[in-house]
Amino acid sequence: MNVAIVGCGAMGQLHAQMASNCGLRIAVCADAVKARASALAKIHGAVAVADIDAALARKDVDIVALTSPTPTHAKLIVAAAKAGKAIFCEKPITRTVAEGRTALTAVQKAGVPLFVGHVVRYFQEFEALRLQAQSGVIGHVGFIKTFRGGMCPVGSAGWFRDFAKSGGAVLDLLIHDFDWIRYAFGDIERVFCQNLMRERPTIMDYAMVTLTLKSGVIAQTIGSWAHPEGFRVKAELCGTDGMLTYDSAEAPIAVMPRQHGKKSPNTIVPSSPVDKSPYQLEWEDFIAHIGGHAPARVTPEDALAALHIAECALKSAKTGAPVTV
Amino acid sequence: MMKIGVMSFAHMHAYSYAACLNDLPKATLPAVWDDDPKRGKAAAKRFDAAYFSDLHRFLYSGLDGVIVCSENVKHRKMVEAAAKAGLWILCEKPLAVTVADARAMIAACKKAGVGLGTAFPCRFAPTLIEVHDRVRAGELGEIYAASCTNNGKFPGGWFADEKQAGGGATMDHTVHVADALRWITGKEFVKVYCEKGRLLGRDTNSDDVGSVHMEMDGGTIVSHVASWNRAKSFPTWGDVTIELIGEKGVLHVDAFSQKLDVYCDKTMRHEWASWGGNADMGLVRDFVEAVRARHAPSVTGEDGLRAVEVTEAAYRSAETGKMVSVRA
């Protein structure tokens, strides 16, 4: 099967490699910035195009991978569905739930497979947490605490830092935790959220969210785009008979590059290699789904539900009141 | 030599405070009162003090001050009695189970002309003192947000009974962080939202975990976990952690993580051995000095009241499902 990568930034480069690892052929690399498309196309022996609509319509493309900024997703999903392509879309599915519903309708009408990259479901550490919790080793889980964050990302033309476009830490970052908590522990009843979304003097966001699940379980999730450097993920599950904890800072490998002639502090870069990248696992799941096997671990409805929780959180942050999901 | 009595050993911190009194060169612990005679006699014997079953005789036994470590709900009665006897008072946290009680206690001490302090040992932890000093020196610039935890193991006993404790984990484990943030930032709390529940199967008639969101004046946003979520097998009692998000940087403090990991085959346990500062000693020394100088302790009854306002607002929020004002 042939893949068109739409959006050739960091995520486009990552997913092109993952699709390629799965034996797919990268046929087209599309990006409004032609140079970016060309650079990625060169690596994979693909055609580079700047005209995204043309890329979606190409007959030699079976799968479209949407790795462009969030606000472009809705239109691209609809166009790809109309062209009859299978669709891999980075999370969030769309910028708004309303857009997401329209996109899903188009996908259903076209009868094409759609996969949204809620990759945390495929992360080995999170799957281990889920399976350990499910095993009953810590009894009944009643409280969940997560942290995910680091520097405020930039993105093409700084789109991440335009909170109207990215939705900030809640919609772009914590949506991972919303999805995973819902996946592992069930539907959310209520959301309360505080966030910063500061533009001056420094662009940063920091979001603190409490989810109350339908089961009564409480989850507090913290998301940071406010740290000067690094990226860290922490998770803690508290149960009636014990606790499960995870901290990415306890990675097995720490690399400390020596800085020559520079005043900047040395940064420790942690690394935690696994047998297979979770991004490749999600591609394998998607490919099996296209092949007519069982639904993927993440369904389009799951992606829309996670986005809905994020939207409720942003509403709560604005109003200062809890929002019923 | 300041003569300081201990009123009730219901709260386990009393044992640490009593040991501090015995260690301090300018203080003695001559008298212990407890409404549980067995507990009181044992404590008196352990700390080489006289045991009193009669409250009046204890209060008028020639003491200069008392440390109150009764069940939370009895704080008011104990403090009012000690104030009437003209004694300086250090009261275990939370100062009271209601704002009304806390106000009455402060008024009683004011009327009697005695100093009232609230036992917030975090203010004397070297780790948090450094955080306070660096924040006040402007190292982080303006503080925009804070994310905190005060987790602990389930204490059981009267802590599990809201009639005696005034609430559950949210009551027990919100005040330290609320006070520390007021002290570190110099800002007051204005709004509180709380989700809480008995979700971890602890044997309590109240909540064993609370997720608390607060707003301070100037708009600083705060999240906090107040819990008894630590497993029995967890290597230490719990934690106080604060992450501060400032204009100029981020600061994370895990206030009591100066520790050794102890792996003991004799008990088959893994535990932490602390080697950090003794915050309780700083707290008790400050109180003894206040008694001697006849001025208020550094951490006052008003500080205790401000923290009680936050917990009361948290329970009010959980009851109404709304974000509520701290000053009702």
Domain ranges for chain A, please list them: 2-112, 124-276+299-324
Predicted confidence at residue A271, as pLDDT, reads: 85
Angle at which helix B301-320 crosses helix B99-112, to 10 degrees, equals: 160
B221 to A218: CB separation less than 8 angstroms, yes or no: no
Q: Which residues of chain B have pLDDT under 70?
A: 328
Per domain, the residue ranges of chain B are 2-120+280-298, 123-277+309-325
Identify the sign of the CA torsion A104, A108, A110, A114.
positive
Left, alpha or beta for A298 (phi > 0: left; psi -120 to 50: alpha)?
beta
Confidence of residue A265 (pLDDT cuts 50, 70, 90): low
Q: Is the peptide bond before A92 cis (omega within 30 degrees of 0)?
A: yes
Interface ipTM: 0.95
Side chain identity at residue A60, one-letter code: D
List of chain A residues whose C-beta atoms are within 8 Å of the C-beta of residue B147: 147, 206, 208, 222
Number of H helices, E strands in chain A: 11, 15
CA-wise closest residue to B229 among A169, A143, A69? A143
Distance CA A60, CA A160 (A): 32
Of A140, A210, A243, the CB nearest to B231: A243
Query: What is the per-residue pLDDT across B266-291, written as a single tens digit (0 to 9) for each?
Result: 999 999 999 999 999 999 999 999 99
Find out whether A210 and B213 touch, Cβ atoms under 8 Å: yes
Listed in sequence order, the residues at least 6 apart from B105 whose beta carbon sits closer than 8 Å to its beta carbon are B75, B76, B79, B80, B83, B91, B95, B96, B116, B301
Rounded Cα–Cα distance for residues A314 and A90 (Å)? 20
Interface contact A143-B209, CB threshold 8 A:
yes
Assigned CATH for B2-120+280-298:
3.40.50.720
Predicted confidence band at A264 (pLDDT cuts at 50, 70, 90)? low
Which residues touch A281 (CB under 8 Å, ≥6 apart)? Answer: A122
pLDDT at A28: 97
pLDDT tens digits, residue range A3-42? 999 999 999 999 999 999 999 999 999 999 999 999 999 9
Q: How far apart are the C-alpha atoms of A18 and A28, rounded to whole Å?
A: 15
Write down the CATH superfamily of domain A2-112. Answer: NAD(P)-binding Rossmann-like Domain (3.40.50.720)
Q: How confident is the model over A69-122, as pLDDT tens digits?
A: 999 999 999 999 999 999 999 999 999 999 999 999 999 999 999 999 999 999
Q: Is A42 in the B-facing interface, judged by CB distances under 8 Å?
A: no
Q: Are B76 and B107 in contact (CB under 8 A)?
A: no
Across the interface, whether the CB atoms of B199 and A208 are under 8 A apart is answered no
Residues forming a β-bridge with B3: B28
**Chain A contact for B268, CB < 8 A?**
no
Check if the beta carbon of residue B72 is closer than 8 Å to that of residue B97. yes
> Closest Cα of chain A to B266: distance in Å?
22
Which has the closest alpha carbon to A268: A252, A246, A284?
A: A252
Q: Any chain B CB within 8 A of the CB of A33?
A: no
State whether residue A238 sits within 8 Å of chain B by CB.
yes
Which candidate, A308, A122, A148, A136, places its Cα nearest to that of A237? A136
Q: A124-276+299-324, which class in CATH?
A: alpha beta
Of A218, A224, A227, nearest to B195 by CB-CB distance is A218
pLDDT at A193: 98
Tell me which architecture the domain covering B123-277+309-325 has in CATH: 2-Layer Sandwich (3.30)
Q: Across the interface, which of A220, A241, A320 has its CB nearest the CB of B223?
A: A220
